[in-house]
Amino acid sequence: MLNDLFDPKAVAIIGASQDPTKIGNAVLRNMIDSGYGGKIIPINPSSPEVMGLKCHPSIDDLESVPDLAVIALPANRVYDALGACVKKGVNYVIVIAGGFSELGKEGKEREQQMKNLITNTPTRIIGPNTLGVYFPHSGVNTSLTSRGMISFLPKGNIAFVSQSGALGLLTMDAVSEYNVGISAFLNLGNRIDLNEVELLDYFASDKNTKSIVLYLESVPKGREFFDKVKLVSPKKPVIILKSGRTQESAIAASLHTGAMASNDAIVDGAISQSGAVRAFDETEMMDYSRVLAYSSKLRGDRIAILTTAGGVGVITADYVSSSINGVGLKMAKFSDETKSKIREVIVPFASANNPIDLTADGSISDFDKVIGILENDENVDGIIAYPLPQTPRMGVGVVEVIDKYKNEKKPIVVGVLGSQIAKDLIVEFEKRKIPAYPSVHRTVKAVKALRVYSAYVERRESQ
Amino acid sequence: MLNDLFDPKAVAIIGASQDPTKIGNAVLRNMIDSGYGGKIIPINPSSPEVMGLKCHPSIDDLESVPDLAVIALPANRVYDALGACVKKGVNYVIVIAGGFSELGKEGKEREQQMKNLITNTPTRIIGPNTLGVYFPHSGVNTSLTSRGMISFLPKGNIAFVSQSGALGLLTMDAVSEYNVGISAFLNLGNRIDLNEVELLDYFASDKNTKSIVLYLESVPKGREFFDKVKLVSPKKPVIILKSGRTQESAIAASLHTGAMASNDAIVDGAISQSGAVRAFDETEMMDYSRVLAYSSKLRGDRIAILTTAGGVGVITADYVSSSINGVGLKMAKFSDETKSKIREVIVPFASANNPIDLTADGSISDFDKVIGILENDENVDGIIAYPLPQTPRMGVGVVEVIDKYKNEKKPIVVGVLGSQIAKDLIVEFEKRKIPAYPSVHRTVKAVKALRVYSAYVERRESQ
């Protein structure tokens, strides 16, 4: 039934407006601009037409029932509009307005009244206090933020559920730099009805989704949620950013989305037992979601590093193998055969040990040959590759080379440092769904996340 | 005397060439394009002219003595060219070619021969195995990398010394995204003569330099070096990225620049006792160099957070105050007066507690007022501010507001999340020398680096 939310045949926008200062204006604009193929129905009693679309005075008057309605009205008008949606039999209602439980007791009561309205009806509420949803595959975009302010991501394989709206939109905006694709974005807001447990269920069987990211400030249905994660995670990786880790920040979280956070040690244990990978900030969250969506399992902790800049190899080796300020994996020890084969490829003064430094003379074809050799060394579990586009013999062709090895047993995680030339190359890797990152630390942490997840799945499979 | 290196009246380029495949071509092109105001003297016996400049057959023939010569020739021709420079009395010679101690015993012997050549002469060597130097204030740019491949930074206040060439250039390229300014970049390479100890001395009294960053893979003159850092650091912050932390990566480092690294626990202790701030990767290194160059001291560990996105505030609060996955500072507890003053500024549903969440309604003027209030609360030592440009009432004017408080007692470190709109705002902050970062984690780590340095200076001053 959640399909009516993700891929509705008709969407009503209650409060659709020609006035650009109204949120009903931005919501309608985003629906139109995002390529939604169904029917958009603006609802506004004071306009016959909005943005060239026929406007209806109220939802009661509609001939058919929209699957989804967006209430883009101030808080004091939400109750009546919701009542009309329930009466009409709308399945999903997004309530944008804030001003409910995050304000305290009185707001909480108004939320309870809304919940009472939908009891024993098929109507479900998303929100209130939500910036909306964005589903690029169906073109549904009820966000109230305009395209000039943030970038909406293309179609892809990451499902992103955020309790906080601004954090969700900012994070989407940030990863738009690499044109990261998503299958869905949902801002839960005050989460009085539709919640992360049901969404996990939906994404578990959604063919577009390959990893699921959740930003949560509280986990009210803790047991139910982690039981669900445990069911989903062996099939689809789940990444959780659970903030409010300290007592003070938990209080801040409660002021923000009106929900109390719980003891972090318990949360941390529950995350790890459920097979989810924990992220600690907005960058880690999206970085991990890509490596987990795109890569095959990392079957052990022995990592080979391939670079064209010696210093980058050394810093990476530090992060890979150190337990203090590092991720505590291992540097692969190559077989003698591997080393002698590598020596045949590289220039005499380059290093055939791990980290392999091809020097600035390293070419695309050298990358190809060395990765091929590493794929055949049973002492290597995974590869970190730095094809640095600032050197003369490197270029966009390296993407195809690395893509060729994507279905081999050993995952390859890519690092590309620098400014525009580097970002452009990361975008090319993203197109092929090869995880690529703009710094040493982010690259190594992504590899660690992949290992944490893979090790969990291995343990589960061997049980 | 190092002034002859940083601001030479004449620079000879031995091996200057019209052939774009030769490194002498790139070096000459970079000297011309970087606005160097002195005399550029191409040396090449087979061309009468290169890039419109008169070419001399050899350095012997010059009427005057250049302060700086760049040997842009293959390794096997370096010795003779260096001999000619010594004979002529050139003060500084940059030897670009690799193929020396990083190759082993034989290369080490050739380095010894070069050292013998300069013994008891005024000639000093930079390199060999160096990508060169770049001094934006004088326009000296002997880099062999072309502008199409990497970006050269504008004039600024950060001196950057890198043992590794590629890592140095990649790092410059990466921070060019924010137009970070530098006072100098030097790649030491195999470092057979000129070294980081002398450079620290120079930068300590260089008026353009406000912080000094060193990327080192080995510290051969350990005691001398750290004694020097200890002298310099109370006046000018020193940031050290010392890689080769594990035994394996130390071996990799030795293959890369021909020098053995030492035990990391000893290095770590020495760094902290010397008052330097340690960075662990290329991003931290440049992030810390900016906050330390631009900010006043952070006199305590009580941090106030100001944001327009609640979730960003909660994640930041976690990183600020947690010891596990955090920096172990404290969240400031505001006085009642502060809280009631903040309440007068903000919208009713915004939070006046720490982290302060102005919500998406937060305006530039709200930022101004709240920072003014925080400056007057003695429970606050420093401020993290997130002016998020994706919200309608925020904009570039916030830079001026924060700039106004720059000379107040409490340092303000800025975080701006998102894609182009965020980067553009960071560039504006950088222009005013206000430290600004594109992620929560980088913002919080910069604040911690500032506190580590400030606490060291306080301890030294109270002794």
For residue B254, give the CATH number of its domain. Answer: 3.40.50.261
Residues B308 and B367: beta-carbon distance below 8 Å: no
* Claim to verify: residue B160 and residue B286 sit in the same structural domain: yes
pTM for the model: 0.96
Q: What is the CATH number of the domain that holds A61?
A: 3.40.50.720
For residue A310, is it within any domain? yes
Tell me: pLDDT of A254 over 80. no
Looking at the fold, whether A340 and A200 belong to one and the same domain comes out as no
Q: Residue A104: what pLDDT?
A: 84
Residue-by-residue pLDDT tens, chain B, 463 positions: 899 999 999 999 999 999 998 999 999 999 999 999 999 999 999 999 999 999 999 999 999 999 999 999 999 999 999 999 999 999 999 999 988 998 888 999 999 999 999 999 999 999 999 999 999 999 999 998 888 888 999 999 999 999 999 999 999 999 999 999 999 999 999 999 999 999 999 999 999 999 999 999 999 888 999 999 999 999 999 999 999 998 777 777 766 555 555 688 889 999 999 999 999 999 999 999 999 999 999 999 999 999 999 999 999 999 999 998 999 999 999 999 999 999 999 888 788 999 999 988 899 999 999 999 999 999 999 999 999 998 889 999 999 999 999 888 899 999 999 999 999 999 999 999 999 999 999 999 999 999 999 999 999 999 8
Q: Which are the contacts of A148, defined by CB distance < 8 A and separation ≥ 6? A: none
B244 and A312 within 8 Å at the Cβ level: the answer is no
State the complex-level ipTM: 0.95
Cβ contacts (< 8 Å) between A102 and chain B: which residues? 349
Beta pairing partners, A320:
none
The closest CB to that of B252, out of A169, A246, A355, belongs to A355
| Burial group, residue A412, by CB count within 10 angstroms (0-12, 13-18, 19+) | buried
User: Residue A457 has what pLDDT?
Assistant: 97
pLDDT at A347: 83
The answer to whether residues B301 and B447 belong to one domain is yes
User: What is the structure's pLDDT at B392?
Assistant: 83
Based on the fold, state whether residues B123 and B171 are members of the same structural domain. Answer: no
Rounded-to-integer distance, Cα B106 and Cα A202, Å: 65
Say if the Cβ atoms of B169 and A390 lie within 8 Å. Answer: yes
Q: Is residue B143 assigned to a domain?
A: no
A191 and A335 housed in the same domain: no
Q: Provide the pLDDT confidence category of residue A147 given band limits of 50, 70 and 90.
A: confident
Give A216 to chain B, closest Cα distance, Å: 9
How far off is chain A from B121, nearest CA to CA, in Å?
Answer: 31
Residue B421 lies in a domain: yes
Tokens of B18: 């019209």
Q: Give the model's pLDDT for residue A256.
A: 59
Helix H or strand E segment including A79: helix A78-88
Together in a domain, A12 and A157: no
Non-local (6+) Cβ contacts of B105 within 8 A are: none
Q: How many A×B Cβ pairs under 8 Å? A: 265
- Averaged pLDDT, A5-25: 96
The residue-averaged pLDDT of A86-96 equals 98
Residue B17 domain-assigned (yes or no): yes
B9: in domain: yes
Task: Give me chain A's average pLDDT, please.
Answer: 94
Query: Same domain for B306 and B428?
Result: yes
Residue B330 tokens, joined: 């404290």
Query: Could you tell me which chain B residue has the CA closest to the CA of A144?
Result: B391
pLDDT at residue A156 greater than cutoff 90: yes
Count how many domains chain A has. Answer: 3
Binary contact (A421, B149; C-beta < 8 A): yes
Question: Can you tell me the distance from the alpha carbon of A35 to that of A30, in angstroms, rounded to the nearest whole number?
Answer: 9
DSSP assignment of B375-393, as one string?
A: HT-TT--EEEEE--TTSTT
- Residue A398 has a pLDDT of 97
Residue of A nearest to B241 (CA): A315
Which structural domain, as residue segments, surrounds residue A253? 150-294
- B435: closest CA of chain A, how far (Å): 19
The Cα A421–Cα A22 span in angstroms is: 40
Searching chain A, which residue's CA lies closest to the CA of residue B331?
A: A248
Looking at the structure, tell me whether residues B439 and B305 fall in a common domain. yes
Phi, psi of A303 (to 5 degrees): -105, 135
pLDDT the model gives residue A350: 80
**Do residue B319 and residue A248 have CB atoms under 8 angstroms apart?**
no
Higher per-residue pLDDT: B173 or A350? B173
Q: Record the tokens describing residue A287, joined without a space.
A: 């970085």
Of all residues in chain B, the one with the smallest CA distance to A279 is: B325
Q: What is the pLDDT of residue B269?
A: 92
Closest residue in A to B440 (Cα–Cα): A281
Lowest mean pLDDT among A46-55, A227-236, B258-267, B350-359: B258-267
The separation between CA B198 and the C-alpha centre of its own chain, rounded to angstroms, equals 17
Map tokens 């009903």 to a residue. Answer: A24
Chain A residues with CB-CB distance to B389 below 8 A: 149
Minimal C-alpha gap between A77 and chain B (Å): 18
Q: What is the pLDDT of residue A376?
A: 96
Last residue of a domain, one of B241, B265, B294: B294
A375 in the same domain as A302: yes
**Same-domain check for residues B106 and B9:** yes
CA pseudo-torsion sign A147, A150, A156, A159: negative
CB within 8 A of A7, min separation 6: which ones? Answer: A135, A137, A138, A140
CA B365-B367-B369 angle, to 5 degrees, is: 70
pLDDT at B280: 98
- What is the residue whose two structure tokens read 């903030």? A243
Give the residue from chain A lying closest to B393, CA to CA: A149
Provide φ and ψ at A275, rounded to 5°: 85, 5
Q: Which of A294, A328, A348 is the last residue of a domain?
A: A294
Indicate yes or no: CB of A243 within 8 angstroms of CB of B283: no
Residue A345 has pLDDT above 60, yes or no: yes
Q: Which amino acid is at B398?
A: V
Region A159-172 average pLDDT: 95
Do both A155 and A286 map to the same domain? yes
Contacts of B257 in chain A (CB under 8 A): 310
Q: Which of A78-82, A253-257, B130-134, B235-239 has the lowest mean pLDDT?
A: A253-257
Residue A449: its H or E element: helix A440-462
Residues of A in contact with B176 (CB under 8 A): 419
Collect all residues with Cβ–Cβ distance below 8 Å to B461 and sequence separation of at least 6: B234
Find chain A residues with C-beta within 8 A of B251's C-beta. Answer: 353
Cross-chain Cβ contact A167/B357 below 8 Å:
no
Burial class (CB in 10 A: 0-12, 13-18, 19+), B85: buried
8 Å CB contact of A315 and B349: no
Question: Across the interface, which of B149, B256, B418 has its CB nearest the CB of A311?
Answer: B256
Looking at the structure, tell me whether residues B67 and B24 fall in a common domain. yes
Instruction: Provide, as residue numbers in chain A, all residues whose Cβ is less than 8 Å from the Cβ of B177.
Output: 419-420
Q: Any idea how long chain A is?
A: 463
Question: Which of A260, A294, A328 is the endpoint of a domain?
Answer: A294
Q: Is B460 inside a domain boundary?
A: no
Residue B400 resides in a domain: yes
